[in-house]
Amino acid sequence: MTRLLDPILLVYALLAAWALFVGSVASSNLEGTQGVIAVDASEGGGAAVAITAATVERDGALAVEVLPGSGADAIATQLFARGVLAETGRFHTLLGYTGVGSQLRSGRYEFAPNTPAPEVIRKMRLGLTREVVLIIPEGLRVEEVGEIVVALGIATDEEWGEALARPRLEPLLRARPPGADLTGYLYPATYPLENDTTAESIVEAMVDAFSDAVSPAIRSQIEARGMTLHEVVTLASIIEREAVLPEERPLIASVFLNRLDSGIALYADPTVQFAITEGAEEEPADGWWKVELTLDDLAFDSPYNTYLVPGLPPGPIANPGLGAILAVLRPAESDFFYFVAKGDGSHAFAETLAEHEANVERYARP
C-alpha cells in the first residue's frame, strides 16, 4: 500500500534544508576569491601588481552599483533590471527566511547573468564588491609601471606615453630641472582602480601621492640639508635600487653621501643599468636592470653612468619610496665609502679600499 509522507515530517525536512542554507548564507567565515597577477621581481627592486577581488571582471559580467541606503525591494528591482536575477521572488523569499535583508551592503558589484539568488545574497551580505587595486612597489622605472598598466588593459602604450608627456602643474613638479620627466615622482603605493580609470588618472594619483608623502616637514629637512628635492629623489632612487633590506638604506645613504662630500664618484651599478637602457622603446633582452654588467657597460658614455661622471646623475633612475627618501635625509653616521653584496640580500661595508677589496674577495668572487 502506498503511504503518504507525514506532513509533520515534511515540515521538519524543509526546516532542516533551510537551516543548511541559512548557515551557508549567514556564515561570517566565507571569503571571496582572490586573484593575483605578479610581474617578475629583480634584486634591489621588484615589479608587482595585485588584483584583489571577489569576482575579477569577466566577459559578460554585469556591473551593479548599489547605493548606500538602498532597501531590499530597490536592490531586487535593480538586480532584475540588470539581468542579474531571472526573477525577484526567490530573492525576497530567502531574505525573509534568513533575516539578512538589512545586512546587504552597498558598493559596486559584478555578477554573471542569472546569478542564483543565494549567491547574490551571500556576496552582498559579505560586501564582496568588485575591488581592484594596483600595487606599485618601490624601485620601478616609469616603463615598468607602464607595462603593468598596459598588461591590465587599463591603457595602451600610446596612452601611457601621452599621460607621462602631459605638462604638469603640481607645485613640487615645477621645481624639476628643464627636460626632467616623471621618473622618481610616481609614488609607489596601492591605488584603487575603477571602471573609468585611465592612464592619466593613474599618473595624477601617483603624483598626488608623491606630493602628500613629501610633507612640508620633509621639505624643510631637504632645505636644511642644502639639497634640492630633485637631488634628494635622485639619490633616493639609487639607494632604492641598491638596498634589498630596508634597514640598510641609511647605511647605503651614508656611503653615497660620504663619497659625494669627498668628490668621489658613486660607482653605483644601478645607474649603469639605467644608462644602457635609457630611451629603449621596449624591455631589452637582459631586462630593464641587467644583472651581469660587462666592462663595456661600465664604460658606457652617459651622464647617468656614475662610474664615469662624478656626482649625482641628472635625475632619478627609478621611483623611490618614502623610506629611501628619509634615508637621504637621515643617513646613518658612518665613515663607510664602500659596500658589496653578500649574496643574501645584505651588504658588507668598508671604510678603506683595502677592506673593500677583501670583502669583494670574500663575497663576490666565484
| pLDDT tens digit sequence for 253-305 | 999 999 999 999 999 999 999 999 998 888 888 899 999 999 999 999 999 99
E strand or H helix at 350, and its extent?
strand 347-350
Give the whole-angstrom CA distance, residue 325 versus residue 243. 12
Q: Are 280 and 303 within one domain? A: yes
Which residue segment(s) compose the domain that 67 sits in? 32-133
pLDDT tens by residue, 105-155: 888 888 899 999 999 998 888 777 766 778 898 999 999 999 989 888 889
66, 191: one domain: no
| All three cell numbers of 190 | 596601492
Examine the domain organization and report whether 266 and 315 are in the same domain: yes
238 near 271, Cβ under 8 Å?
yes
Q: Give the residue among 342, 270, 352 at the shortest CA–CA distance from 304.
A: 270
In angstroms, rounded to a whole number, what is the distance separating the alpha carbons of residues 120 and 67? Answer: 16
Do 68 and 126 have their domain in common? yes
- pTM value > 0.85: no
**Domains of the chain: total:** 2
Please tell me whether residues 120 and 190 are part of one structural domain.
no
Do both 109 and 215 map to the same domain? no
Give the least confident one: 12-16, 336-340, 350-354. 12-16
- The reply to whether 281 falls in a domain is yes
Is residue 363, in this structure, part of any structural domain at all?
no
Nearest to 144 by CA among 164, 174, 173: 164
d(CA 83, CA 322): 46
